[in-house]
Amino acid sequence: MRQLPEQTEFAEMDAIEQMVRESNFPKQSMSYQIMNQIGDRDMTRVSTKQKPNVLRKTLLVASVTAVLGGTVIGTGFVSPAMAATLKQIPMIGLLFEGTSHEAVDAAIQQGIISEPNLSVTHEGVTLKVADLLYDGTRLSFILERDGVDLPNTASPYLDEGAKIIGNPDSDYIKSRQVAKEDQMKGYIETPKILVNGQEVKSGEGVFGDHPRLENTYVVELTKDLQLPDQFELTIQTRVTRVDESFDFTIPVSVTNKSVVLKPNVSKSDGQFSYTVKQLDMSPVSTRLVLDSKGAVPASSQQKGNYSASMVYYELVDDQGNVLTPRKFDYFNSKPLTEYHIDQLFSPVKGTPKSITIKPFTLTVNNKDWSVIGQGENSYGDKTYLKDLEMTIPLKP
């Protein structure tokens, strides 16, 4: 070797590189977590006013829903302890932005939030449906696991039918393709959710570990959820290395779950028009569904190097309170001429007499799609489209 120092050096470098490559960090796959977060995103640019830990927060928001949630019902009973807890949780502001104690009380009374506390035990593993929330717009619940000493609840193993690209023989893939009998006991597999015996179809959902609580698994279904006010909810979950399925049947009955308006009112400025299909208000959220058509109106500033973004919608009650959107998307592209909007906002305070929809656009730099005025506390400078404003009266 001594005669060939160069070659030795190369071998040495190879060894170093190999060492880097094979650094074996004891890491669970984050793929499910990432997919959950991608869940309700489009291939668009999401607000960049994110702080370092924003992803955790995002996940947290999603899961707090479930923590608080419980629609349960059975009896529609919420223990005083839970009611007290709900009010104390400081995160409540985070989740139900603008929600008052009264609203939470109302949610509990209406059966929107409840705690079924149903548990099933098989082979030493206990799963409990702790909390359930259903307000007509989202269905979420939390499963608590007991009798298992594993850091995570969600199964890291790949399903048999999972699609694999690349080298199926790689160590990594192999480590996740484990025969049922060789898996660690006690991981929760993705639950099957049935309503009146039919599997639920939902546009978006979150499944997985609760980011802050140990031994808890969260499910949240949102968007395009079409469920009646009363139904029988069945949750079927399998746990690794446990033969029997963990099945829960919970009658859900929500009264006045939300005020649902189907105004079907349109507004047009000749070029651009939109029709409000639905406006739902529950103690935990407000949902706006509308269709728009036509080219986005541009202001005098929105020309040359700048252009108008897609049309966004702001909801304001009769007291001037602006509802906060649950998410705000930015797009690196010219707006389309047709949109179907289905968006969640914070709940209304009290019982407003009307809700005003204020369409607006942002001003976008054509070069890099950056938004004028966007910053820490601003989605960007809004250009309100006054001609397109619409007020929807709410009957008391």
Partner 1 sequence: MQPTIPGEAEGKRNAIEAVIEQIQAGDKQSYHAIIIQFERQMYTYCYYILKNHAETEDAVQEIFIRAYEHLHQYKRQVSFSAWLYKMAYHHLINIKKKQSRFLNLIEHCKEQQPVMQISQHESVVYELLTYLTAEERHILLLKAVEQYTFEEISEIMGLKSATVRKKYERLRHKLMDRISQKGAVAHETVAGTNGIR
Closer to partner 1 at the Cβ: 301 or 332?
Answer: 332
State in angstroms the smallest separation of the CB of 13 from partner 1: 5
Nearest to 330 by CA among 100, 102, 41: 41
Nearer CB in complex with partner 1: 37/109: 37
Report, in Å, the least distance between residue 45 CB and partner 1.
6
Nearer to partner 1 (CB atom), residue 27 or residue 395: 27
Decide whether 168 or 197 has the Cβ nearer to partner 1: 168
Shortest distance in whole angstroms from residue 211 CB to partner 1: 11
Per the rule left: phi > 0, alpha: psi between -120 and 50, beta: everything else, 294 is left
Q: Provide, rounded to whole angstroms, the least separation between the CB of residue 155 and partner 1.
A: 14
Comparing CB distances to partner 1, the nearer of 28 and 319 is 28
Nearer to partner 1, 13 or 255 (CB): 13
User: Taking a C-beta distance cutoff of 8 angstroms, is the pair 133, 95 a contact?
Assistant: no
Q: Which residues bind partner 1 (CB under 8 A)?
A: 9, 12-13, 15-25, 27, 29-35, 37-38, 41-46, 52-53, 55-56, 158, 162-167, 170, 172-173, 176, 332-333
Q: List 66's β-bridge partners, or say none.
A: none
Q: In the complex, what is the shortest distance from the CB of residue 178 to partner 1, in angstroms, rounded to a whole number?
A: 14
Q: Measured from the CB atom, is 53 or 377 closer to partner 1?
A: 53
The minimum distance between CB 8 and partner 1, in angstroms, equals: 9
Three-state DSSP at 128 gives: strand
Query: Would you tell me how many other CB atoms lie within 10 Å of the CB of residue 118?
Result: 17
**CA 184 centroid distance within chain:** 29
| Residue 15 or 81 having the CB closest to partner 1 | 15
List Cα–Cα distances, 6 to 9, 13, 15, 181, in angstroms: 5, 11, 14, 50
Q: How far is the CB of 383 from partner 1 (least distance, A)?
A: 25
Q: How many CA atoms lie within 13 A of 262 on its CB side?
A: 0
Which token pair is 344?
């969640």
How many CA atoms lie less than 13 Å away from 183 in the CB half-sphere? 24
User: To the nearest whole angstrom, how small is the minimum distance from the Cβ of residue 175 to partner 1?
Assistant: 10
Contacts of 20 (CB under 8 A, 6+ apart): none
Are 251 and 74 contacting, i.e. CB atoms less than 8 angstroms apart? yes
Please give the DSSP secondary-structure letter assigned to residue 388.
G
Q: Which of 87, 216, 243 is nearest to 152 (CA)?
A: 216
Tokens in use for 202? 């939902």
Extract the tokens encoding 311: 């049309």
